[in-house]
Amino acid sequence: MAVAFEKVRSTATAESGKNILTVNGLTMHFPLTQGIIFQRQVGAVRAVDGIDFFVQKGETLGLVGESGCGKSTTGRAILQLYKPTAGSVKFEGTELTTLGGEQMRRMRRKMQMIFQDPYASLNPRMTVGNIIGEPLEVHHLASGRAKTERVQELLKVVGLNPYFTNRYPHEFSGGQRQRIGVARALAVEPEFIVADEPISALDVSIQAQIINLLEELQEKFQLTYLFIAHDLSVVRHISDRVAVMYLGKIVEVADRQELYEKPLHPYTQALLSAVPIPDPAIESKRKRIILTGDVPSPVNPPSGCRFHTRCWKAQEICSEVDPEFIEHSPRHWAACHFPG
Amino acid sequence: MPLLEVNDLHTYFYTRDGVVRAVDGVTFELAAGETLGLVGESGCGKTVTALSLMRLIPQPPGKITEGQIIFDGQDVLKMDDDEVRGIRGNNVAMIFQDPMTSLNPVLTISRQVSEALELHLKMDRSEARKRTVELLDLVGIPSAKKRLDDYPHQFSGGMRQRVMIAMALSCNPKLILADEPTTALDVTIQAQILDLLKNLAREFRTAFILITHDLGVVAGMTQRIHVMYAGRIVEKADTGELFANPKHPYTWGLLRSIPRLDEQRKQRLVPIEGLPPDLIAPPPGCKFEPRCAYRRDVCREKEPPLERVPNAKPDHEARCWGTQEGGWLVDVDWHSEIGDVRVLEEIKQEVASVPAEAAHAAAADANPGARKEGS
């Protein structure tokens, strides 16, 4: 483990000028308790269990994995929506985990989130104008007339009619609501946005509209994204670099082309081979790696390498020693005893 | 004789806001042992089509207002409830989208799987139990015998979907309707389930209709594909033909708007602009016209029929004025020509403007303003 940390840290410092976010040993355990009055902890859901990565200014880091692998928890722990159990999260050199409430609130101006479910993430009793205007008031950025104008400008930026300010969320379709969510995130002019499955609740034909919008906004405002998704095709499309998570750990990180062409970790290989390609000619020739079994419980993860219970390459060492997260080629990290 | 023949099926829902034309004139047939994909976005009527086939439409508010469903020579719509019950789960089985909610949480797995065996095949308890073990083995549930008396919550999502498949297979059905069977599952589990379905269909020569919004899933699974939009089939073709030589602008839009895992370089996606259709007040002409970048005046006026298209295989049909004999889209290369840029801008403006449900409210808002200006 220690070696792996050093590796990440060395690259992190080498390119520290470019790093907007550096995460070291981030751990998020949710306690499991028993008893009603005298609660005692009987275990923990180890949702995120010591992960290291960095995000560079202006890039999109895609974070993929199956449900329950801890990718959303990672996103929330970075924004301090959860208080991490251990580890450090540095945003532009500032350690976030030790910040107090008021300081953290000020930091949040620079980092925003776009949520998965556009139906649940907008307050149904607030007008669009109030939803988008709220962050402006919280951060004392604009009020009164200036606020209204700013809200209208934001609506225009995300491709909605600026005169929608008095409408309520239920009047909009899913895609339009997600645009409102994007406008709310943009209101405070953030530098960094965590997009947690922003398109998975939308229809296929609408997904591309939102992906394009996010790409346009990134160009226009030099945004940095942490893009969390389970769909590898979408992540490949939007990301510059991709991190693959399995059961609370990052198992592989690489530039997008490298990861999709030369995946090192068997889990990444299996994931890639499982994604159906909309072309029957290619589909009939592809060889699929079908993983057996299900993802084990994060309450009691397997010893050694967490993937060894489903891995076709697993040998004795895999169940005993947790593989280190090593840089196998420049900017390509993987945690596996038998990579390639 | 085809196994299943659906003629001009109309299923409407009578709601407070108006009549929702969920399925509006669907015609197709399916041979024994054939695999068919029904593809479309949510709300296009694919699930309602499947539920209509099984006569599972909640009534009211729903009603099959017109059409014919001939399964194995019998008209399903003319059957009484007992006769339908004799087919349901027996000759026609269904696999639902969400394995979390489609199993009964308070009954053991063995009770749920053997129910159909006892009912349709008249097995006694112990026979049915024995057969249940075989079925669970068949769908790849490890140590099936020990897990017979487990409850659904003791199974993971993928395992529950396997139980659903075992239930569907229990009476050797001639037709399986699989409604988004893998949408709720993770990719690696999806691969397992699709693999299983494919092998079983091949082994038992069961016909199945796979309903999905994911073109990738049908590409590797089915022989034919029907693309649905706004309660209608807009394109029918062999799977290979559909992907190699698609003919309907909506199919083009679908294919262009999804990022592909094997995409070579980073290219912009071409989304289908505009919003999904309102099925209470659908557009008068072609249902896709409001979102179509290739539209002409005729599209707004008259709805095109589902017809054979030129330069394609004989059984390839599309519902589009442009791609039919003499149309303006016959020789278009859909990869490069994404339609009239001006029209695209117009459609984008529509997204930006009034939301569908608020159209009336907006009209009401606008009028007093106009009056004030006038006075």
- Decide if pLDDT at A226 tops 70: yes
End-to-end CA distance of chain B: 71
**For the segment A175-197, what is each residue's pLDDT rounded down to a tens digit?**
889 999 999 999 999 999 999 99
Mean pLDDT of B331-345: 81
C-beta of residue A52 within 8 angstroms of C-beta of residue A24: yes
Question: Do B83 and B55 contact (CB within 8 A), yes or no?
Answer: no
Binned at pLDDT 50, 70 and 90, residue B360 comes out as very low
pLDDT for B138: 84
pLDDT at B330 over 90: no
Q: Would you call B352 and A236 a contact, using CB atoms and an 8 Å cutoff?
A: no
**Residue B40 predicted with pLDDT over 70:** yes
Name the residue among A160, A170, A203 with its Cβ closest to that of B41: A203
Confidence of residue B224 (pLDDT cuts 50, 70, 90): very high
B-proximal residues of A, 34-73, CB under 8 Å? 66-67
Residues of chain B in contact with residue A209, where contact means CB-CB under 8 angstroms, are 271-273, 351
**Cβ atoms of B69 and B77 closer than 8 Å:** yes
| pLDDT for the residue numbered A8 | 47
Q: Where are the beta strands (DSSP E) in chain B?
A: 4-15, 18-30, 35-39, 62-71, 74-75, 92-95, 175-179, 207-212, 224-229, 232-238, 307-308, 317-318
Residue in B46, B1, B51, B42 with CA at minimum distance from that of residue B26: B46
Each residue's pLDDT tens digit, B199-215: 888 888 889 999 998 88
Q: Which residues contact B341 (CB under 8 A, 6 or more apart)?
A: none
Residue B369 has pLDDT above 60, yes or no: no
Residue B368 pLDDT exceeds 50: no
User: Which residue has tokens 């339908």?
Assistant: B84
B35-39 and B207-212 beta bridge pairing = parallel
Report which listed range, A287-291, B347-351, B367-371, is most confident: A287-291
Per-residue pLDDT at B375 exceeds 80: no
Tens digit of each residue's pLDDT (9 = 90 or more) over B45-70? 888 999 999 888 888 888 898 899 99
Could you read off the pLDDT of B105-124 as tens digits, one per residue?
999 998 888 888 888 888 88
Pairwise CB contact (< 8 Å): B356 & A280:
no
Query: Which of A161, A204, A231 should one mutate to test binding to chain B, selecting the residue with the greatest count of B CBs within 10 A?
Result: A204
**Subunit contact B353:A209, Cβ cutoff 8 A:** no
Q: What CA–CA distance (Å, rounded) separates B280 from B193?
A: 36
Task: Answer yes or no: do A274 and B190 touch at CB < 8 A.
Answer: yes
Placement of tokens 């692998």 in the chain: A69
Q: What is the rounded average pLDDT of the residues A315-329?
A: 91
**Burial class (CB within 10 angstroms; exposed 0-12, middle 13-18, buried 19+) of B228:** buried
State the average pLDDT over residues B300-323. 89
Q: State whether residue A218 sits within 8 Å of chain B by CB.
A: no
Rounded-to-10 torsion of CA A95, A96, A97, A102: 130
Rg (CA), chain B: 23
A28, A19, A84: which is closest to A241 by C-alpha? A19
What is the average pLDDT across B320-334?
A: 84
Q: How is residue A167 written in tokens?
A: 């409408």
Answer yes or no: are the C-beta atoms of B183 and B101 closer than 8 Å. Answer: no
Confidence of residue B364 (pLDDT cuts 50, 70, 90): very low
Share of chain B above pLDDT 70, in %: 93
Across the interface, do A281 and B259 touch by the CB < 8 Å criterion? Answer: no
Q: Note whether B357 contacts A171, CB cutoff 8 Å.
A: yes
In the predicted model, what is the mean pLDDT of chain A? 88
- Mean confidence (pLDDT) of chain B: 84
Q: How many CA atoms lie within 13 A of B191 on its CB side?
A: 21
CA distances from B340 to A2, A321, B293, B345, B346 (A): 58, 60, 6, 9, 10
Q: Place B367 in a pLDDT band, splitting at 50, 70 and 90.
A: very low
Task: Quote the minimal CA–CA distance from A171 to chain B in Å.
Answer: 6
pLDDT digits (tens, 9 = 90+) for A1-52: 444 444 444 444 445 568 899 999 999 999 888 888 888 888 888 999 999 9
Would you call A274 and B240 a contact, using CB atoms and an 8 Å cutoff?
A: no
Q: What local confidence, expressed as pLDDT, does residue A266 receive? A: 94
pLDDT per residue as tens digits for the range A51-98: 999 999 999 999 998 888 888 999 999 999 999 999 999 999 899 999
Query: Distance from CA of residue A285 to its chain's centroid?
Result: 33
Instruction: Report residue B323 CA to chain centroid gap.
Output: 23
Q: Is the pLDDT of residue A279 over 90?
A: no
A93 touches chain B (CB under 8 A): no
Cβ–Cβ contact B305 with A under 8 A: no
Q: Provide the shortest C-alpha distance from residue B119 to chain A (in Å).
A: 32
Q: What is the dihedral of CA A135, A141, A146, A148, to 10 degrees?
A: 0
Q: State the complex-level ipTM.
A: 0.79
Task: Give pLDDT, residue A16.
Answer: 52
User: Between A and B, how many CB-CB pairs are < 8 A?
Assistant: 157
Q: What's the pLDDT tens digit per position in B4-30?
A: 999 999 999 998 888 889 999 999 999
3-state secondary structure of B191: helix
Which ranges of chain A does DSSP label H, i.e. alpha helix?
Answer: 2-14, 71-78, 101-107, 128-138, 144-157, 174-186, 204-221, 232-238, 256-261, 266-274, 280-285, 316-320
| Residue B254 near chain A (CB below 8 Å) | yes
Regarding predicted confidence, which is higher, B363 or B329? B329
CB contact under 8 A, B188 and A233: no
In this prediction, residue A243 carries a pLDDT of 95
Cβ-Cβ contacts under 8 Å, A122 against chain B: none
Whether the model clears a pTM of 0.90, i.e. scores above it, the answer is no
**Which B residues, 149 through 178, put their C-beta within 8 Å of a C-beta on chain A?**
156, 158-159
Question: Please, what is the end-to-end C-alpha distance for chain A in angstroms?
Answer: 21
Q: Does B275 touch chain A if contact means CB atoms closer than 8 Å?
A: yes
Question: How many residues are recorded in chain A?
Answer: 340
Above 90 in pLDDT, residue B265?
no
Per-residue pLDDT at A17 = 60
B366 touches chain A (CB under 8 A): no
Confidence category of residue B266, pLDDT binned at 50, 70, 90: low
